[in-house]
Amino acid sequence: MTIAETKISGRQFMYSIICFIQASAILNAFISNITYQESWLVVIFAFIIFIPSVFMYGALINRFKDKNLIQIIIQIFGPVLGRIISVIYLIFFLSITMFNITDLTDITKTSMLPTTPYIILVMMCILITAWAVRSGLRVLTIYSKMYVFLASFIIILSIIFLFNVIEIGNLFPIFSLPLKKYVQGIHILNAIPFGELVVFLLIAPNVQMNKKQTYKYFFLGSSIGAFSFFLTVLRDISVLGETFGMFVFPSLVAFRLIRITEAITRIEILFIVILIILLIFKISILYYVTVITVSQIFNLKKYKNIVLSVGFFLMTAAIVLSANSIQHTLAAQNGAPFIWVTLQIIFPFILLLISLIFNIKSPKEESK
């Protein structure tokens, strides 16, 4: 039984995955100063390596059709150990939600509202996303298709407008870095953003799709999202060249180089608006998943009653954390991926393996 009874379509699920990745794609500084001009190559390798995880997620969803990740953990490990493990996942979900709130407030403060106090920006973010979460999953994801097309349109439009400053030579040479740099870059991307797709295991029971559609929509969503990521990194490197790794927001710098006419500049406002929309969407998904996790741990029947309480905690934690983007980027490069990949990929694989060995599945699947 799911806490949230609202159902969404498989296509909404797919578009939500694309949006989720696109929100991270435009903020690519967490690899830019590691693999520099070869980051585009690392994106390709990282997603190829991540593809088996997509099908692993699909297999878990199909094996436990009416259960989310937390319910699967509790079913396999029991109510005590299962809830202890679930608390670890709760900390993980809270962490990535706070990181993304920091991203949103930083980009807003840097590009649009430099004099607005940090606390006001965080409060605005929490209020908007809390409203979305309380409105339910269907309302939260209903415009995901539109967001995908808007973001894709902006990416393509930017490539056209920047065509005169694009230098293909900036993409080369390749394989000129030490091996450990490629390994680090691939590892980071498998944690952020690809591994973050594990959050959709909390949403899956509320999606109307059969077994084949599960694999189809998860794979298509992650593939299209990864392609958007690839195009974004490719554009930024070909425009910025050796300076790509020097900026906190490379895409923003690239957009500022657009000159349509002498009168029409500052086209980066389009980028900023769509980025804010995508980040609000991603934070709303993470916020929703966090609330669902709390509800499952404490066996609550309704999640909406705790939305504001969780939001207050997120707001307080985000304000306490430094709003320094450089510190955030260093955390994303050095510490977080090594811990997160365990929860994103390794542990879900262990869950699937145990369920196959001991033939554990949801009651609905057992009755078939």
Say if residue 367's pLDDT is above 70.
no
**Which of 119-128, 133-142, 174-183, 254-263 comes out lowest in average pLDDT?**
254-263
- Residue 358 placed within a domain: no
Give residue 366's pLDDT.
54
Give residue 339's pLDDT.
84
- pLDDT bin (cut points 50, 70, 90) of residue 141 is very high
Pairing assessment for the beta strands 207-208 and 8-9 based on DSSP bridges: parallel
- How many domains in the chain? 1
- Residue 296 placed within a domain: yes
**Which of 108-112, 117-121, 173-177 comes out lowest in average pLDDT?**
108-112
- Residue 326 placed within a domain: yes
- Residue 3 placed within a domain: no
Tell me: the pLDDT tens digits for 148-165?
999 999 999 999 989 999
- pLDDT bin (cut points 50, 70, 90) of residue 328 is low
Q: Which domain holds residue 77?
A: 8-351
* pTM > 0.95: yes or no: no
- Residue 215 placed within a domain: yes
**Which amino acid makes up residue 26?**
I
CATH, residue 61: 1.20.1740.10
Say if residue 1's pLDDT is above 50.
no
Tell me: the pLDDT tens digits for 59-100?
999 999 999 999 999 999 999 999 999 999 999 999 999 989
**Which amino acid makes up residue 67?**
K
Give residue 362's pLDDT.
76
Average pLDDT over residues 106-116: 86
Say if residue 209's pLDDT is above 60.
yes
